[in-house]
Structure 1
Amino acid sequence: MDDSYKWGVVLIACMAIFIIVLDSSAMNVAISTLVVELNTTVSIIQGIIAIYALIIASFMLLGSKIQDILGRKKTFLMGLIIYACGTITATLSINAGMLLLGWAILEGVGAAMILPATTTIVGSSYEGKDRVTAFGIWGGIAAVGAAVGPIVGGIFTTYLSWRLVFGSELVFVAGILIFRHYLTESEPTLKWKDLDIVGVFLSVISLILIVLGILFLTRPEYWRYVAVLVGSGSILFILFLWWQRRRINNGLEPLSDITLLKNRLFGLGTLNNVIQQIPLAGFLFIIPVFLQQVTKLNAFDTGLTLLPASMVILICSLLGAKLSSRIDSKYVLMIGFLIAAIGTFILSGVFNVKTQMQDLIPGTVVFGVGIGFLLSQLTNLTMAAAGKDQETDASGLLNCFKNLGYSMGTALIGVLLLLSVFGGLTAGIESTGLVDNTTKDEIHDGLFNYMEKMQTGTPQIPPQLVPYAPLIIDSTISSAMRQTFTVLSLILFLGFFTSLFIPSRKNPT
């Protein structure tokens, strides 16, 4: 392989995107092990997964703008080093706090510098059909990283150690450094004094407050803070948009060119990226929770259950890129949303205490077909709306909202599941006929905490109720899964509806 190798840039981009998306899906199947080894709860692990995507989203605009100050290649490599430091920290974690620092914060900041640089490097390295193919491959590998992650995580967690999920990423980091000569540097167009510090503050804080507010819904004692966090975050985000517009009108360099959002293709493309990420993130979080809590599968079997969907996502990502050369990308999107919605609808009817892994495969495969089509189109379609001079801002905004969607998906769908469980436990307790009103609340809290610990240890409830605990929790989770997947179907139908308004534009380049 020499410097003239046509797909060298895509090779590097694919290795980078693979390790960034691998973490969340790979570690989802290790939830039970993480809860036990780090002495934590499902909600905290859910929070770490959501915060990982949130940190990426929050720092994405800053990471994108740094390209204009340092250059794309230098920004990419600097982000890679920060990411590697986070990977080492996560590998050596001895508690949830250390995992949060390494995985969510350091890896998140590193990824926020890598992702926009990767998008613009790929976008600027290819044209025409090669550009469509490059983004299709890139999107497909992103899908594989998210979807194959469960089987990778399952193998490591069950037979070796979950820590190797993070440790193995250092091999990819080394590979990227070896092949870095394929990357071309861009000339810096800004200086540090041009950086919009106020915009950085407003964008980071607003997004963090909104997602934290959603995560606080998992515990009733925190509900009084939810409206304050989400409300203040929303106000700060509106202020951010106003501040960006003000800087643009005054001839100053904004953190991001928000005028792109007025472009119909870019705005709707970004919206559909967010809508697509929410069910994908929710799916990858709650399916392993069900499989490990109710069907009592280990990490490997959990990953094995998701493997057919993983393969289908890869195949359909590649097919979708080919399909867009024959029909308008808009219609590929519409088909993708519709098929994914059918998949979640099928899944909404299969959850009960007797559900086995094979019962889930038909629905997950149909869902995977739809997601594969979506991932093959969304990045290229959205980026096609940006001119050459807007690619940096466009990639920053797009990746910011995509990761915000993933973070919100993990938070919203996880919260919806936990709230459904929290509310449903009361009926399960009453069905035993062994409690009175004076002890019901204590039993409810004891069962919920037992569920939060992935049914490990002994539930803190009256001894006569202990034999009923697994059945009560399993029945409640099954019911909650049915409700949650119905909501996922509605979200995907919303994506189908919004994609109707995307301008028809065959093979956008």
Structure 2
Amino acid sequence: MNSSYSQSILRHNQLLWWLCVLSFFSVLNEMVLNVSLPEISSDFNQSPASTNWVNTAFILTFSIGTAVYGKLSDQLGIKKLLLFGIIVNCFGSVIGFAGHSVFPILISARFIQGAGAAAFPALVMVVVARYIPKGNRGKAFGLIGSIVAMGEGVGPAIGGLIAHYTHWSYLLLLPTVTIITVPFLIKLLKKEEIVKGSFDIVGIIYMSVGIVFFMLFMTSYRISFLVISILSFLIFVKHILRISNPFVDPALGKNVSFMTGIICGGLIFGTVAGFVSMVPYMMKDVYQLSAAAIGSGIIFPGTVSVIIFGYIGGVLVDRKGALFVLTTGIAFLSISFLIAAFLIEATPWLMTIIVVLVFGGLSFTKTVISTIVSSSLKQEETGAGMTLLNFTSFLSEGMGIAIVGGLLSIRLLDRKLLPLYADQSAHLYSNMLFLFGGIILISWLVTMKVYKRSQRNF
């Protein structure tokens, strides 16, 4: 019996180790190319609107795929889906590296990578819940959370160093490391019983078309793309209202507190993601920093600080309440954007402090948005509601990156509003930072108003 128990523990530990590898590379793949965006833009002679699709393409299929894999896990089995995701992710990596000199191939490869990598966050937590003993699940979830935070932290630094000393195309090969997990997962994951059920493929197609064309509109500003996007969303809404098992539960749309948390949270997350995608361009244009300096010196300290701020935010929610933590996080974000707007030419290392505060504010607001959204849901709505929150959080990040790329390209905000800067390139970034601060404050005001009203009604 002791031998059997020891073998079971060893099996669980091995499985947890390989899940950590998958979790690390799924997040690393999202962040690692960010610091190389200016170099990619220069190599292909593309505007930021087009270049940012290197990240947007990945996040788009990543966000949609996360929801799809989660819904398919009971019908097709975790083992098959996880192995499928690994193979697709690695295939996209090889295609991207082999065809990195052709821009459409690069973007297509990032779509493929995102479609594969989406399986990791969607299924890893389900595997832990099903395979790890109940007494050890807390430690397992904590370990995977730490690994994810580490991936977010070291991603920019690794990306900057590899791009600086070799070439950014080699970053596309990093996810292929996950292929080593395949034989171990085949051995460690059991064969599962398949549950028959319907899956709303039509709804996913309508929604995906609407999202893609909206992002295309925000990067090219072609009215035809906006028309297609609106029509697709209208058809999608009509579709989910008339079928029994829709991809998105329309009943959630009637919950004002829930929808406010989703929309305002999405605006905050998208703004921060857009800011982070803008930092490499800003540091390159204003200070002529290398990818290694941007990744290691500017972005890396901020991404690492997420671990500390995330813990502090969780403690403060219990002690001071959600509204206090939300206000603190918003203060970090808005004040940071305003300071950066006024002092953008002061020193590049000021931006290191700004990025740390921005990621700190993001950690606080993410904690609170999750709390607000979950508390606004009935018990039977929790699963669908939190899945939708995760989906919209990822999606808003992709939208934020696409929108910022479009604004950097059309130079709509390239006006001398502040007579402080001699460098023409500083005007655009300063105005963008003012815009970010305004969006954050408006989102906070709306969230506070609706949340307080819901508390009184409750």
What does residue 108 of structure 2 align with?
Answer: 101
1:55 to 51, 61, 77: 61
Which region of structure 1 is more displaced relative to structure 2, 291-300 or 21-30? 21-30
Contact 1:32 1:292 in 2 (8 A): yes
CA shift in 2, pair 1:423/1:496, >3 Å: closer
Q: Describe the SS at the equivalent of 2:288.
A: coil
1:237 to 224, 233, 245: 233
2:397 to 406, 422, 427: 406
What does residue 346 of structure 1 align with?
Answer: 339
Contact 2:257 2:454 in 1 (8 A): no
Aligned residue runs from structure 1 range 255-404, under 5 A: 255-263=247-255, 266-303=258-295, 304-329=297-322, 331-352=324-345, 355-376=346-367, 378-379=369-370, 382=373, 393-394=384-385, 396-404=387-395
CA shift in 2, pair 1:298/1:102, >3 Å: same
Q: Describe the SS at the equivalent of 2:52.
A: helix
In the TM superposition, what whole-angstrom CA distance separates every residue of 1:354-392 from its partner, at most 9, and x where no partner exists? x43213223222212112223445557645766787666
Shift of residue 233 of structure 1?
1.2
Instruction: Report the TM-score, using the length of structure 2 for normalisation.
Output: 0.82
Shift of residue 478 of structure 1?
0.7
What does residue 425 of structure 2 align with?
Answer: 477
Shift of residue 255 of structure 1?
2.1
| Gap regions ≥5 residues in structure 2 | 1-5
Contact 2:414 2:427 in 1 (8 A): no
Shift of residue 144 of structure 1?
4.6
Shift of residue 213 of structure 1?
0.7
Shift of residue 485 of structure 1?
0.8
Letter in 2 for 1:245: L
Distance 1:153 1:114 in 2: 21
Shift of residue 135 of structure 1?
6.5
Whether 2:27 is the aligned partner of 1:21: answer yes
What does residue 110 of structure 1 align with?
Answer: 116
Letter in 2 for 1:488: F
Contact 1:54 1:211 in 2 (8 A): no
Distance 1:328 1:230 in 2: 40
Letter in 1 for 2:102: N
Letter in 1 for 2:53: G
Greater share of helix = 2
Contact 1:136 1:317 in 2 (8 A): no
In the TM superposition, what whole-angstrom CA distance separates every residue of 1:244-295 from its partner, at most 9, and x where no partner exists? 1211xxxx32223332344456434433441232122112211100111221
Contact 1:281 1:409 in 2 (8 A): yes
What does residue 150 of structure 1 align with?
Answer: 156
Distance 1:12 1:265 in 2: 38
2:169 to 130, 140, 163: 163
| Gap regions ≥5 residues in structure 1 | 218-224, 428-471
Letter in 2 for 1:82: V
Distance 2:113 2:29 in 1: 10
Shift of residue 30 of structure 1?
1.3
Letter in 1 for 2:55: I
CA shift in 2, pair 1:422/1:65, >3 Å: same
Letter in 1 for 2:207: S
CA shift in 2, pair 1:36/1:415, >3 Å: closer
Q: Describe the SS at the equivalent of 1:89.
A: helix
Contact 1:206 1:236 in 2 (8 A): yes
In the TM superposition, what whole-angstrom CA distance separates every residue of 1:333-358 from its partner, at most 9, and x where no partner exists? 34323322222222111223xx4321
Q: Describe the SS at the equivalent of 1:168.
A: helix
CA shift in 2, pair 1:347/1:253, >3 Å: same
Q: Describe the SS at the equivalent of 1:287.
A: helix
CA shift in 2, pair 1:267/1:119, >3 Å: farther
What does residue 37 of structure 2 align with?
Answer: 31
Whether 2:206 is the aligned partner of 1:214: answer no
CA shift in 2, pair 1:228/1:61, >3 Å: farther
Letter in 2 for 1:295: Y
CA shift in 2, pair 1:66/1:286, >3 Å: same
Aligned residue runs from structure 1 range 188-207, under 5 A: 188-191=194-197, 194-207=198-211
Letter in 2 for 1:314: I
CA shift in 2, pair 1:254/1:263, >3 Å: same
- Count of aligned pairs between the two proteins: 443
